[in-house]
Chains A and B, each alone.
Chain A
Amino acid sequence: MSKYKLMASTFLVASISLGAYSVSAGEITVMSWGGAYTKSQVEAYHKPWMAKTGHKLKSVDAPNPSAPIKAQVIAKNVSIDVADVEYSDAVRFCDEGLLEPIDAKMLPAAPDGTPATKDFINGALTDCAVANIVWSTIFAYDSSKFSGSKPTTIADFFDTKKFPGKRGLRKGAKANLEMALMADGVPSGDVYKTLGTADGVKRAFAKLDQIKKDVVWWDAGAQPPQLLADGEVAMTTAYNGRIFGAAIGEGKPFSIVWDGQILDLDLFVIPKGAPNKDLAMDFIKFSTDTKRLADQAKYISYGPARKSSSALVGMYQDGKTMMGPHMPTAPANMKNALLNNFTFWADHSSELNERFNAWITAN
């Protein structure tokens, strides 16, 4: 009998210590986009949060973190506590009931007392999501490859006669169709109106047809700087922060063309049924306060989603590059910029992506 007693007491002690362990130090899983972007979040959010709370944080990456969310929620097997997603996905998933609601009133106020709901830029707070950064899709080139004139407008990207060489594009309809229209002369204000018509879609694809045979397609955000560095492409669309990281951080001769950039937000969301909802909420509250959002800009050139953070944005981590001019929202970069229209994509993404897939696979 003593054997059983021993087992029972061992089990008891083990379960108590396990229980105590889980109270003192929880662990949350945060999913993001990988590469330089995840690194900036690790430095600005993850490490300070772990140091302050004593909890653990597991960082995982996906080419697009929105993809696993629906699968996990529908299968009722959620392992992600916090995910970093694009605006259109945050809105779509919230509408489809796949995310936990987040009460924006719980978010900390700005240092001067402005409530969070007023401090965040327009649209940065939704029923289920809190924005952290403003990012943008731009195109970039390797300046060492262009000795004469250099590309300056979005039209140059589609002009392989003037600027020969391969082009890198993200494999998907979003951003490519808008850029094609802008390159074809559609003013940024009319892009979505044009794309809403059959003729507009035709026009966008006709423009893409001009460079189709020269395109190398990419999936993950870390690929375009690699394609440029390998000399596989002469120019590529990319997320602006990735090019900044390669250019300023690693000293690559890459230049960004801001003309025709497409602005978007990245937001933190909590999938419905997340295993550590409360900790996840605590992490989001911590990470999206004025200081942390400004801190992230130290590591990557994405604009903070709080107005009060802008004033705190200073130097890059190298201590000599001012971040201001590298932000997508800098006035000089905003001359011909397009704001991504999430309602348009909620309605048309299945139709346009299908068409895009058919276009890309047809020879």
Chain B
Amino acid sequence: MTVTTPDRVDLEDTLTTSDGTPLKLALSQATRRARIRAFLLVAPLLLFVVITFAVPIAQMLYLSINNPIFSDNMPRVTAYLKANPIKGVPGEEAFAALALDLAEAKKNRTAARVGVRVNYARPGATSLFKSSARQAVKFITPPYKEKFLEFNKEWGELHLWRVIERASSSITMSFYAAAVDLTYNANGDLVRVEPERRIYVHLFLRTWALSAVIAFLCLLLGYPVAHLLSTLPLRYSNLLMILVLLPFWTSLLVRTTSWISLLQSQGVFNDLLVVIGLVGENDRIQMMYNQFGTIVAMTHILLPFMILPLYSVMKTIPRDYVRAARSLGATSTTAFIKVYFPQTIPGIGAGFLLVFILAIGYYITPALVGGSSGQLISNQIAFHMQESLNWSLAAALGAILLFGVLILYWLYDRIIGIDNMKLG
């Protein structure tokens, strides 16, 4: 006879609530209900984030590698090129497909859109497609190739057909290539574009450099202010806080245009300099429509994003530490460097990253005060979104910017640790 102790499961099975349901079941039901309720509470926000944030970014990424305008509207040429990769100018069969596709494109009014797609890589294609589609009736009987070449000899150009072949595959990396100043030459090799057309690599580097300078300036200006805020008695610090927050609450556009009236060559600063005789009436200093204007205006606008995280971190640092260091014989410099400063690093990291990331995507301020040398990559993205309407290129540029920020974030996590970041 051995006494067996019932194990836990058995024990729990025998425990019931007052209405007779086993306790385990009742418990799991209760926690599930709580979980569902919690999820339902979060659901609106989750849905909002997915719809307004995750989906558009995914769409953008997709747009940057997928441009089906050609394959959707020129199905026969696309099918032909898939089966017969271009070696030289194609023969009769390809031109027959082209004739039928153009006739259909004319009916659907899509020829120009196809032309615009090809035109990205080969100028002149828009009107070639448009004019050929207008005459589509002429081409739908053999001899196809002869008629096309007779209409416009550009149809017999190998480079054009290589461009068409690349445009015909809807999944393409060519927009990323264009976004880093690369292009395909007549032989189909990836090469850098001519020097006078290189722009994006230079602009990406400038955007990163300017953003870093702005974030650094914000840190330089914001650190003492945040320190003052966190140490002053409440009545003064509240007033100071309002001074920090007031511009923060003012419209971005208003602040940018105020800088215009301050910095322009007939503006307040220049007038002041002329009045006190530092510069002559005819050599007023150009402080706007250049990088200087962009840096000044953006530093001012982004300053609160540096001060607030710094302040929230500094507020939590007990003064006793510095006092202890001083009483143990440290000079004020040593106490600052060894004791106070290291404790503010989470705030510095957060502020720097916040300002840097915001600066990288800034658009209105450089557009208004940047002139030509103060333009950032976002101005080119806006240009392709709004004016050239080459959305795939805009998406590729945006995606590169996004990857850049993600890499920065990853580096930050590796070096300082994201858990160390304090936003407030």
Contact = CB atoms under 8 A, between A and B. Distances in A.
A96 B109 contact: yes
Contacts, number: 95
Interface size, A (range) = 35 or more
B196 A359 contact: yes
Given A95-B112, A361-B202, A67 B386 contact: yes
A357 B380 contact: yes
B388 interface: yes
18 contacts: A67-B386, A92-B112, A95-B109, A95-B111, A96-B116, A97-B109, A216-B289, A232-B266, A347-B119, A347-B124, A350-B120, A350-B390, A351-B119, A351-B123, A353-B387, A358-B196, A358-B198, A362-B202
Contacts of A230: 264, 266
Nearest to B198: A358
Interface in B376-399: 380, 383, 385-390
B130 interface: yes
A277 interface: no
A362 B181 CA distance: 14
Contacts of A216: 289, 371
A348 B112 contact: no
Given A70-B389, A96-B112, A351-B119, 13 more contacts: A96-B109, A96-B110, A216-B371, A230-B264, A230-B266, A346-B112, A349-B388, A350-B390, A351-B123, A353-B383, A354-B388, A359-B196, A361-B203
Contacts of A232: 264-266
Interface in B356-383: 367, 371-373, 375, 380, 383
B152 interface: no
A350 B112 contact: no
Interface in A308-359: 343, 346-351, 353-355, 357-359
A121 interface: no
A168 to B, nearest CB: 10
A172 B383 CA distance: 10
Q: Is the interface of A mostly helix, strand, loop or mixed?
A: helix
B109 A361 contact: no
Given A216-B289, A232-B265, A361-B199, A350 B372 contact: no
B153 interface: no
Contacts of A212: 372
A355 B197 contact: yes
A248 B126 CA distance: 42
A212 B290 CA distance: 12
A347 B109 CA distance: 17
A357 B383 contact: yes
A205 B195 CA distance: 14
Nearest to A358: B199
A64 B387 contact: yes
Contacts of A97: 108-110, 112-113
A42 interface: no
B63 to A, nearest CB: 11
Interface string B103-131: 00000111111001001100111110010
Given A230-B266, A347-B119, A353-B388, A219 B198 contact: no
A70 B387 CA distance: 10
B367 A219 contact: yes
Contact of A95 (B130, B197, B264, B265): B130
A360 interface: yes
B289 A350 contact: no
Interface string B185-196: 000000000001
Contacts of A357: 199, 380, 383
A147 interface: no
Which of A166, A346, A357 lies at the interface centre, i.e. has the most chain B CB atoms within 10 A of its CB? A357
Interface string A53-81: 00000000000100110110000000000
Which of A68, A230, A358, A360 lies at the interface centre, i.e. has the most chain B CB atoms within 10 A of its CB? A358
B127 A343 contact: yes
A348 B266 CA distance: 38
A215 interface: yes
Interface in A15-54: none
Nearest to B265: A232
A189 interface: no
B197 A354 contact: yes
Nearest to A69: B389
A351 B109 CA distance: 23
Interface string A131-149: 0000000000000000000
Given A97-B109, A355-B197, A361-B372, A347 B126 contact: yes
